[in-house]
Structure 1
Amino acid sequence: MSTGPDTPDISDGDRADGPAARAPAAAPPAGLPLSAERLSALRRRTTVVLVVSQVLGGLGIAIGVALAAVLAERVSGSPALSGLAPTATVAGTALLSAPLAALMTSRGRRAGLVAAYLIGALGAGLVVLGAVAENFPLLLAGMAGFGAGASANLQARFAAADLAEPERRGRAISLVVWATTVGAVLGPNVAAPAGRTVSGLGIPAEAGPFLWAAGVFLISAVVVQLLLRPDPLLTARALAPGDHRAEGRSLRAGAATVRASPMARLAVVTAAVSHTAMVGIMSMTPLALSHHGAGIELIGLVISGHIAGMYAFSPVMGWLTDRVGRLAVIGLATGLLSVSALLAGTAGPSHTQVAIGLFLLGLGWSAGVVAASALLTESVPPSARAAAQGLSDLVMNAAAGVGGVMAGLIVAQAGYGSLNLAGALLLLPMAALAVRRAGGRSGGARTDPSG
C-alpha cells in the first residue's frame, strides 16, 4: 500500500496482528488488513466522533443563525438588506465548498472539517467586530466566513457514509444529521442569554451569540483533530479496490462523473432545490415574525421547531430511504416542502401556523437532503465520491445563496406570502426529474450506481 497523504493513519490498535488476524471473506479483501470486527469497531468510533462534532457544530450554527437577519437590519438600517446576512452565510458555505472539498480529496475528511470549523470561528469573530463598529460590509464578510461552520456540518454526513454498508447508507447519513438536533434546537434558545452576557462589553445583544459560536467552533475543531483517526475517507479508499489516482479526485472529474449519471444529477438537483427553498423561507421568517410583534424568545422557539424538523426526524428519513427507496423519499420531500410553503405563506399574523409551516419545512429538507446524499454517494465510483459530494454542496449552497438574496428582495417588494409561493414553484424541477427517473426504474431500497 502506498504511503503519503492518501494513506490512512491507522493506529496500532486498528492494525491486524499478522496473517492470523487477516480479515475473513466477509471483510474487504484488499487494501487494509482489517478484520470484520475491527472494521465494525472503526465504523462505531467514527460515528461517535462525528456525532459529537455535529452536536457542537449545530449549536454554534444555530446560536448565530437565529438572529442573523435581525442583526443585519440593525447594522444596515434597512429591512431590504437584512436578508444579506443569512445569504452571506450561505454564499460563504458555497464558496468554501470547493477548496474544502479539494482539501478533503487530498488530505482526508479530518483536514477539511478542522479547516472549516477554524474559518467559521474566525468569521464569527468578524461578525462581532462588524456589529460593534456598525460596519455592514465587515459584518457580511464575517457571515461568509461563519458559513464554513455550516459547510463542516454538511460534509460530516458524507464522512458518515464513507465506511457505511450500502444497505445502511441512508441510516448512517441520517444518524449524523440527527446528531445536530441537540445543539441546533438548543442554539436559538441560547441566543437571548448569549446576548445578555455581552451587555457590559459594548457588544450589541444580537451579536453576542456569534461570540459564543466562535468558541463552540474552536472546540469542534479540537475534537475532530484529536479523535477522528483514522480518517474515514482515506480508510474507505484503501479498503476499496480500483483506480484511486489523484487526477480522478478533482472537482472537474467529479462534475464529469455527475453529468454521466442521471441518478447523480437528480441527487444534485434535489439537494440544491430542497436547500434553496428551505434557506429562502427560513431566513426571512424571523423578520416576518418580528414585524407581527414576535419577540426574540418567540422567534427562537419557532426556529427551534424548524431545526427540530430538519434534524430530529432524520433517522426516520434515513430508514425510509433504505427501506422504500431514494426516489420515494424525494417525492415525500416535495410534498412536505409544498405544504410548508402553503401554511407559512398564508399564516398572516398567526404565529402558530408559521411555526407548523416551519416545522414541515424542516422535515421536507431532511427528507430531500438525506435521500439525495445517499443517492449521490452510490451513483458515483468511490474514487470520485468526495469530489462529486463537494460539487453537490457547492451547487446546493450557491443556489441557496442566490435564493437568499432573492428572498430579501421578494419580501421587501411583495411580502412573505409571495416568498413562499416562489419557494413552492421552485420545487417543480425536482418533482419533474424524480417522476422521470421513477418512470425508468422502481427506485427500490438500493439504486444501481450506473444510473
Structure 2
Amino acid sequence: MSRNHTNGSQQQLDWLHRYSQSPEQQQALYRRTLGVVSVSQVFGGAGLAAGVTVGALLAQQMLGTDAYAGVPSALLTLGSAGAALLVGRLSQRYGRRTGLTIGFMLGGVGAIGIILAAVWSSVWLLFAALLIYGSGTATNLQARYAGTDLASSKQRATAVSMTMVFTTFGAVAGPNLVNVMGNVALSLGIPALAGPFILAAAAYLLAGLILFVMLRPDPLMIAEMLRIQGLQPSAHPAHNRTTPLENKKGIIAGATIMVVTQVVMVAIMTMTPVHMQHHGHGLGEVGLVIGFHIGAMYLPSLVTGLLVDKLGRAVMAVASGVTLLLAGLVAAFAPADSMILLIVALCLLGLGWNLGLISGTALIVDSTEASTRAKVQGSVDVLIALSGAAGGALSGMVVAGSSYPVLSIAGGILSLLLIPVVIWSRSSRQPV
C-alpha cells in the first residue's frame, strides 16, 4: 500500500512538472479534459432526464393527489444541494476525478432505489431514493466546471457550453425513450413509470466509470500548480488583479443569476407534465415536450458560450431574464391542447435557463482561482439546488391553489429580477 501511494504521488509530480513546463501540453490537456467530460455528459444527461420526465407522475400515482406532485422535484433538488456541497469539497481536496466519480455513482444508486420503491409501493423509500438520485443532477452540473480549470478568461463560457452541448444527446434521448423503457419495465414486472429510472441507473454509473478511468491527470490539480507558479493562462490579466470585494461581488451576482433562473425553470417545468395529463395528453406527448425542453436547455450551449465570451456576462444575463418572461407568458396563454405552443413555451424556458446558467457560471469562474474554486462552486450549486427545491415544492401547491397559468406568469415576472442584479454587478467594477 505504501509503495502504491508513493508511486501515485510520483506520477502526480511528473504530471505537474510536465504540464507546468509546456503551454502546448496545457492546451492539449485542456482539450482532452473537455473531451472526457463531454463523453460523460452524454450519459449524465440521460440519467437526469428520467426524473424530470416522470418523477412528478410517479409521485402523483403513488400518492393519489396532485398537491404533492412537486415533491419529487423538491427532494431531487434538495438531494442535489447536499451532493453539490459534497462533490465540491471532494473535488477541492482530491481533484475533479474523485468528486465527480462519487457523485455520479451515488446518482446511480438513487435511481436503483426509486425502482425498488415503485416495485414495493413504498413512498418513504421513494422519497429517500430521490434525495440520493439528486446526486447525479448535482454532479452533472458540476462537471461543467471541470472544462474551465485550464481555460483562459476568453475560453471559460465556451468551455462550459461545450460540455453542456454533449449533455443534450442523452438528455433529449431520455424523455423520448419513456415508452420504450416503460415497456421494458413492464416486461420485468416493474411499474411502467419506473422504467426510465432503469436507464438513469445505467447512465449515471457509466458516466462515473468514464470519469474514474479517463480523467487523468486531474485538471484542477494542474490548474492549482500553474497558479502557484504564476503560469495560469488568462486572456484578460485585469481579471487576475481584482480586489477581494470585486471578486465577492462577482460571486454574488453569478450565484443570484443562476438561482433565479433555476427557480423559474424548475417551477414551470415540474408542473407541465401534470398540466398536460389533466388535458388529455399521453405519456408519449409529455416525453416529447420535455425532450424539446431539455434540448433547449443544452443544445444552444455552444453558441451561448461564444456569445457570453464575446458580448459579456451581463448582456446575456439580461437576455436570460427576457427569454424566461416570454416562456412564462406563452405557457400561461397557450391553449392546453396545443402541443406546438407548449413546445415553444418549454423551449423558451430551457433557453432562458441556458443563458442564465452559462453567464452566471462564467462570472463565478472569473471571480475565483484554483485554490478555492471547487469549494466555492460547490457552495454556489447548493444555493441553486435549494432554490430549485423550493420552486419544485411550491409549484404543485400554487397550481393546486390557483392554476398553471398563474404559476407561469409569476415565474416570468420573477425572472425580471435579473435586470437589477446585472445593474448592481456592473457598478464600480469593470464590465463583464
Using the size of structure 2 for normalisation, the TM-score is 0.91
Deviation at 1:292, TM superposition (A): 1.1
Residue among 386, 391, 400 paired with 2:374:
386
User: 1:273-307: per-residue Cα shift (whole Å, max 9, x none)?
Assistant: 11111111111111111111111111111111111
Contact 2:325 2:416 in 1 (8 A): no
> Quick one: distance in 2 between partners of 1:329 and 1:162?
22
Aligned to 1:377: 365
Contact 2:118 2:126 in 1 (8 A): yes
Deviation at 1:263, TM superposition (A): 1.9
> Quick one: distance in 2 between partners of 1:287 and 1:394?
27
> Quick one: distance in 2 between partners of 1:118 and 1:198?
22
Please say if 1:141 is aligned against 2:128.
Answer: yes
Contact 1:303 1:358 in 2 (8 A): yes
Please say if 1:154 is aligned against 2:141.
Answer: yes
Aligned to 2:402: 414
> Quick one: distance in 1 between partners of 2:157 and 2:245?
19
Please say if 1:305 is aligned against 2:292.
Answer: yes
Amino acid across the alignment from 2:362:
A
Amino acid across the alignment from 2:256:
V
> Quick one: distance in 2 between partners of 1:209 and 1:184?
12
Residue among 381, 398, 418 paired with 1:430:
418
Tell me which moved more, 49-58 or 215-224: 215-224
Aligned to 2:268: 281
Aligned to 1:247: none
Contact 1:7 1:234 in 2 (8 A): no
> Quick one: distance in 2 between partners of 1:199 and 1:270?
42
Deviation at 1:351, TM superposition (A): 2.4
Contact 2:247 2:368 in 1 (8 A): no
Deviation at 1:201, TM superposition (A): 2.3
> Quick one: distance in 2 between partners of 1:327 and 1:54?
27
> How has the CA–CA distance of structure 1 residues 118 and 267 changed in structure 2, closer, same or farther, with 3 Å as cutoff?
same
> How has the CA–CA distance of structure 1 residues 8 and 337 changed in structure 2, closer, same or farther, with 3 Å as cutoff?
farther
Contact 1:8 1:234 in 2 (8 A): no
Aligned to 1:368: 356
> How has the CA–CA distance of structure 1 residues 8 and 326 changed in structure 2, closer, same or farther, with 3 Å as cutoff?
farther
> Quick one: distance in 1 between partners of 2:10 and 2:303?
32
Let me know the Cα RMSD of the aligned residues.
2.2
* Correspondence 1:36-435 to 2 at 5 A: 36-241=23-228, 261-349=248-336, 350-435=338-423
> Quick one: distance in 2 between partners of 1:127 and 1:8?
42
> How has the CA–CA distance of structure 1 residues 167 and 347 changed in structure 2, closer, same or farther, with 3 Å as cutoff?
same
Deviation at 1:425, TM superposition (A): 2.9
Deviation at 1:428, TM superposition (A): 3.6
Contact 1:43 1:163 in 2 (8 A): yes
> Quick one: distance in 2 between partners of 1:301 and 1:260?
42
Deviation at 1:260, TM superposition (A): 6.0
> Quick one: distance in 1 between partners of 2:36 and 2:13?
16
> Quick one: distance in 1 between partners of 2:92 and 2:360?
20
> Quick one: distance in 2 between partners of 1:402 and 1:7?
43
Deviation at 1:242, TM superposition (A): 7.2
> How has the CA–CA distance of structure 1 residues 258 and 73 changed in structure 2, closer, same or farther, with 3 Å as cutoff?
farther
Contact 1:7 1:238 in 2 (8 A): no
> Quick one: distance in 1 between partners of 2:15 and 2:408?
53
Contact 2:20 2:225 in 1 (8 A): no
Consecutive unaligned residues in structure 1, runs of 5 or more: 17-31, 244-256
> Quick one: distance in 2 between partners of 1:335 and 1:158?
26
User: 1:146-188: per-residue Cα shift (whole Å, max 9, x none)?
Assistant: 1111111101111111111211111011101111010001110
Contact 1:8 1:231 in 2 (8 A): no
Contact 1:9 1:230 in 2 (8 A): no
> Quick one: distance in 2 between partners of 1:442 and 1:334?
22
> How has the CA–CA distance of structure 1 residues 168 and 155 changed in structure 2, closer, same or farther, with 3 Å as cutoff?
same
Contact 2:16 2:222 in 1 (8 A): no
> How has the CA–CA distance of structure 1 residues 275 and 8 changed in structure 2, closer, same or farther, with 3 Å as cutoff?
farther
> Quick one: distance in 2 between partners of 1:153 and 1:121?
12
> Quick one: distance in 2 between partners of 1:258 and 1:150?
31
Deviation at 1:380, TM superposition (A): 2.3
What is the number of equivalent residue pairs in this alignment?
414
Amino acid across the alignment from 1:419:
L
Amino acid across the alignment from 1:126:
G
> Quick one: distance in 2 between partners of 1:214 and 1:329?
35
Deviation at 1:63, TM superposition (A): 3.0
Consecutive unaligned residues in structure 2, runs of 5 or more: 231-243
> Quick one: distance in 2 between partners of 1:300 and 1:148?
23
> How has the CA–CA distance of structure 1 residues 209 and 272 changed in structure 2, closer, same or farther, with 3 Å as cutoff?
same
Deviation at 1:126, TM superposition (A): 0.9
| Identity among equivalent pairs (%) | 35
